[in-house]
Each structure stands twice: as C-alpha cells, then as structure tokens.
C-alpha cells in the first residue's frame, strides 16, 4: 500500500488520469524484468521501429478537468441554433428530474468501461434501458417483457408449461410484431435450465438481456 502524505487525500481528483486503473510502479518494474528491458523508454526503442516513431512531442493543450470539460462541452453546445422542428408535431419540451438525468441518461457507468469496446458500451446502453423500463414498470405496473417487446426487442419467455409459454409468446408477437419464442422451464431442475438455455440460443443466436420475473 502506498504511503500517503498528510495532505495527499485533499488533492483534486477531478482529473481523468487520476482515475485510470493503470499498473503501479512496482508492477511496471516486474513486467520490465520479465521482458529484460531496463526502462519503458528502452522497451519502446526495442519494440517500435524508429521509422514510424514521432521525433517531436505532440503540441497539445493542457488536459481539462472533468468539470472543465463539462463546462467547455456546454459552452460549445450553447452555440447551436436549433430551428423549429416540423416533423410530425415537433418536439415538446419536458422536465427531466435530475435524479433520472444523472443516474439513467448520463450515468458514467454506461460509457466509461475500462475497455470501451462496442460490446461493453452496448451493454451499458442495454443496462440503462433495462433500469429505465424497470422504473416505468414500478410506476405503472407494465411488465418488462411487454416493454421490451414494444421497444422492438426479440424475446424468449419461459413458463413451467410449454402451452402457457407459447400462448404468451404468440400474444406478444402478434401485438408488437417481434419474434418471441416460448419455452418450458422449471428453474428447480438444472437440466431444464440447461435445455432452455440451449433452445434459447438456438432460436435467437445470443441473449443480450436476462430478466428474472419479467411479468
């Protein structure tokens, strides 16, 4: 564990670099020892051909803090001059509660994964959508499965009996025009869970969201 000075904990953490989960100095040293390099500079010299390396450093402005970046983004956004929309009935302004805006629409957890690959960003979007739909379900009593279907998602729904699952699947498919597969599943039997999972993957190819008790 690092030995922190008496005032280290009071320093600003409003920098993206401070939240980067990178290797510690001792970990860097261990990796350099493993590959037989004296330093990171030596490793770069040995690994990257000189012909493709940039001799001069980039002339970049100092990095903004998170608050500074948000302020700059807002400043740029305020320069937009949105015209009146004549698509359909146009856009009607609404009030979005701050707790919804921060925790659902702008939650950093949806878009700041350590490895921001497309799949993980999509996972964040799906999770945000599921949280939003769960909130609407709590407020209105609408089932999540119905909400997902109305949003255009293909579904696999399960029930203890195949007849009831297929009947519900047919109703959802007819109402929303999506693909819905009904399967028999007894969660108390592991073999039943394995079989249903295999059938679901065979029918859909892959599963993006798994919801228990979706209504």
pLDDT at 29 over 60: yes
User: Angle, to 10 degrees, between the axis of helix 25-35 and the axis of helix 40-47?
Assistant: 40
Both structure tokens of 184: 């028999």
pLDDT at 67 over 50: yes
Average pLDDT, stretch 135-139? 69
C-alpha to C-alpha distance for 135 and 141, rounded to whole angstroms: 10
pLDDT at 7 over 70: no
Residue 62 main-chain phi, psi, to 5 deg: -55, 145
Residues 6+ apart with CB under 8 A from 84: 90
Please state the length of the chain.
215
pLDDT in tens, 31-59: 999 999 999 999 999 999 988 988 888 88
Higher-confidence residue of 167 and 207: namely: 167
**Neighbour count for residue 210 (Cβ, 10 Å):** 10
DSSP run (H or E) holding 70? helix 66-77
pLDDT at 1 over 90: no
Higher-confidence residue of 76 and 112: namely: 76
- Whether the full predicted model's pTM is greater than 0.75, yes or no, is no
Picking from 213, 42, 40, 41, the residue whose alpha carbon sits closest to that of residue 138 is: 213
Picking from 177, 181, 174, the residue whose alpha carbon sits closest to that of residue 156 is: 181
Both structure tokens of 169: 């699947």
């Amino acid at each position: 564990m690092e030995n922190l000075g008496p005032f280290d904990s009071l320093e600003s953490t409003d920098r993206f670099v401070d939240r980067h989960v990178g290797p510690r100095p001792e970990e860097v040293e261990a990796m350099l020892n493993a590959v037989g390099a004296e330093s990171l500079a030596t490793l770069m010299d040995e690994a990257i051909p000189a012909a493709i390396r940039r001799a001069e450093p980039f002339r970049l402005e100092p990095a903004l803090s998170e608050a500074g970046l948000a302020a700059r983004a807002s400043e740029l956004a305020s320069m937009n001059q949105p015209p009146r929309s004549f698509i359909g009935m146009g856009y009607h302004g609404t009030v979005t509660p701050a707790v919804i805006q921060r925790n659902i629409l702008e939650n950093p957890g949806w878009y700041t994964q350590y490895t921001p690959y497309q799949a993980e960003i999509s996972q964040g979007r799906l999770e945000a959508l599921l949280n939003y739909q769960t909130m609407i379900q709590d407020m209105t009593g609408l089932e999540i499965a119905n909400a997902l279907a109305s949003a255009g998602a293909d579904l696999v729904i399960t029930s203890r009996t195949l007849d009831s699952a297929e009947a519900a699947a047919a109703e959802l498919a007819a109402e929303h025009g999506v693909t819905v597969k009904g399967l028999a599943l007894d969660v108390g039997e592991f073999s039943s869970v394995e079989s249903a999972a295999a059938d679901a993957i065979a029918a859909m190819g892959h599963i993006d969201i798994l919801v228990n008790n979706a209504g």
